Amino acid sequence: MKTLKGPAIFLAQFAGDEAPFNTLPNICEWVASLGYKGVQIPTWDKRLFDLEKAATDLDYCKKIQDTVAEHGLEITELSTHLQGQLVACHSAYNDLFDGFAPAEYHGNPEARTEWAIEQMMFAAKASKNLGLKGHATFSGALLWHTVYPWPQRPAGLVETGFAELARRWLPILNAFDEADCDVCYELHPGEDLHDGITFERFLEAVDNHPRANILYDPSHFILQQLDYLDFIDIYHERIKAFHVKDAEFVPNGRSGMYGGYQGWVDRPGRFRSLGDGQIDFSGIFSRMAKYDFDGWAVLEWECCLKHPETGAAEGAPFIAKHIINVTEKAFDDFAASGIDEDFNKKVLGLN
């Protein structure tokens, strides 16, 4: 059995223009002071990281590694959530998602998609240069506007959508395979990969590609009313990354899973700081230990009520408390009677 690593923290929600959130050295010093041991780095924020440079410059990668190590930290994964979203984007969302790309690609969906795919290729090379084995991203979506089957979907629509999604991602998956790094899709509403069934559809479309894997985040599952513990039992072989994020779902007589277009504070399903929601983290960490998950437990802080710095400060001890230092022996070994085939046959009445 293996003990997972942590606590770690995803830096995306904390990066900003003011110290200590404005540079990689500053933010590493801050998270280390809170007790974190790893950082997941967003690759779109050049205040912290230059993705293209990391893909082409080994000296730059060494500098990044040294900066992180100086604070007693490790890089858990790089993240391309924003770029991955743009690998596949339905035209209905073009204007809304333009902000995920540089200004020169706004209003030009084709060029923006090419940019996003190039970014993913950079991410594969950068991950290899940094010696990373997992990468966090989104799948993007061509079908999300049809998630509720009204109007009725035309026959073959879903199959065509996943075939196109696979066509775009296969070269990227192959690049990550060459880099010896897994692509870990965060299964998330708004993405075509948002639950187990959609992941299975994608996996079939990419011919069970070994690098197509899962970033497990239970918060997105409780908001869908999906059994997030059973999910681990089913898909543990493909879970290669882990976001520790809490959430709650409290339906009422006026609103349920769809939320009624309300803001996050008023939605029945909403993200919470660790320990403030309904997620059974003891059950999750127990299953992670059972299935020998040896990756990182990474805090992704998102809460509509609590201050982010408070959430970050509370997150490290919360994760540390839940990490199971797995046993190397069975609890009842003291009562073992040894291995003796003749005795075993006698117990079975075979002598």
For residue 195, give the CATH number of its domain: 3.20.20.150
Could you tell me the two tokens for 207?
């011919």
Query: Do 69 and 327 touch, CB atoms closer than 8 A?
Result: no
The helix or strand, by DSSP H or E, that contains position 42, with its residue range, turns out to be strand 38-42
Taking alpha carbons only, the member of 109, 105, 108, 118 closest to residue 89 is: 109
pLDDT of residue 336: 73
- The CA distance from 127 to 130, in Å, is 5
Give whole-number Cα distances, 206 to 85, 278, 342, in Å. 18, 35, 51
DSSP H stretches of helix in 257-301: 281-290
Query: Do 222 and 188 touch, CB atoms closer than 8 A?
Result: no
215 three-state secondary structure: strand
> Number of folded domains in the chain?
1
Beta bridge partners of 40: 10
pLDDT of residue 332: 67
Tens-of-pLDDT digits for all 351 residues of the chain?
A: 899 999 999 999 999 999 999 999 999 999 999 999 999 999 999 999 999 999 999 999 999 999 999 999 999 999 999 999 999 999 999 999 999 999 999 999 999 999 999 999 999 999 999 999 999 999 999 999 999 999 999 999 999 999 999 999 999 999 999 999 999 999 999 999 999 999 999 999 999 999 999 999 999 999 999 999 999 999 999 999 999 999 999 999 999 999 999 999 999 999 999 999 999 999 999 999 999 999 999 999 999 999 999 999 999 999 999 999 998 777 667 667 777 888 888 888 997
pLDDT of residue 42: 98
Instruction: State the CB neighbour count (10 A cutoff) for residue 103.
Output: 8
Please count the residues of the chain: 351
pLDDT of residue 334: 63
- The CA distance from 347 to 351, in Å, is 9
The residues near 97 (Cβ < 8 Å, ≥ 6 apart) are: 85, 86, 89
pLDDT of residue 340: 80
pLDDT of residue 256: 97
Taking alpha carbons only, the member of 35, 34, 30 closest to residue 20 is: 30
- The CA distance from 75 to 5, in Å, is 12
pLDDT of residue 254: 98
Query: Do 319 and 281 touch, CB atoms closer than 8 A?
Result: no
Measured at the CA of 45, the angle between CA 212 and CA 125, to 5 degrees, comes to 40
- The CA distance from 322 to 241, in Å, is 16
Query: Do 201 and 259 touch, CB atoms closer than 8 A?
Result: no
- The CA distance from 149 to 171, in Å, is 31
Q: Left (φ > 0), alpha (ψ -120 to 50) or beta: where does 336 sit?
A: beta
How deeply is 336 buried, as exposed, middle or buried, from its count of CB atoms within 10 A (0-12, 13-18, 19+)? exposed
pLDDT of residue 345: 85
Query: What are the backbone dihedrals phi and psi of residue 159, each rounded to the nearest 5 degrees, phi first?
Result: -60, -40
110 lies in which domain range?
A: 5-347
Instruction: State the CB neighbour count (10 A cutoff) for residue 190.
Output: 15
pLDDT of residue 199: 98
pLDDT of residue 119: 98
